[in-house]
Amino acid sequence: MSETSVRTRRWSWWLIASLCLNLFLVGVVVMGLIVARNRAALSGVGGGLRPEVVLQMLPPSGAVKMCKALATRMQTFRRLGRDVADARRAMFQKFRGEPFDEAAFRASLSRITAAEAAVAAEREAIVAEVVLQLTQDERNHFAREATARFLSPVRPKRTPREPGQLVKMCRELGVTAEQ
C-alpha cells in the first residue's frame, strides 16, 4: 500500500469525524437558542405566563374557571397593585430626599419587596385554585399547548398588552368581575 492512500484514509476519517462533530454542535447550539427564545417568550412579568396567554391556551371550559377565580380576587389584586405603586413612590421620595437617609431608603426597598411578594403569593393562590378546578382533559390540553408553544421553531405570536384586555377576554367567555 502506498503512503498516499494511507494519508488519504487518515484525512478522510478525521474529516468525517470533524463534520459529524460540527453538525452535532450546530444542532446543540440551535436547539439551545430555540429553547432559550421560547423560555423567554413563555415567561412574563413575575416569571410566569401572562393571564391573557394562559386563557388562550386553556380550553373554553378551563378559561371560564380561570376567569371566575380572577373575578373573585379582582379587588384584592387592585389593592395589592396600589400597595406596590405606593411603596415605589415612597422609595423614590426617600431616594430624592435631602439629606439622604439610608435606613429609610432600605426600609422602603423592603416595603417594595414585601408588596411584590404579596402579589406573587396571590398569583400562586389563584394558580393553585384554578389547577384544582381543572379536569384532567383541561390540564392535558393546556400541557399540549404549552409544550407546542415551548418547542415550536416558530416564535409564538406576541399578544400586545392592552388595558382591560383580560377583562374583555373574560366578558367574551361570559364572566364578569365582581365589583
CB atoms within 10 A of CB 58: 21
pTM for the model stands at 0.62
CB 41: neighbour CB atoms within 10 A?
17
Q: What is the pLDDT of residues 126-142, one digit of tens each?
A: 889 999 999 999 999 99
Backbone angles phi, psi at 174, to 5 degrees: 90, 15
> Using one digit for the tens of pLDDT, what is the confidence trace for 15-50?
888 888 888 888 888 877 777 666 655 554 445 677
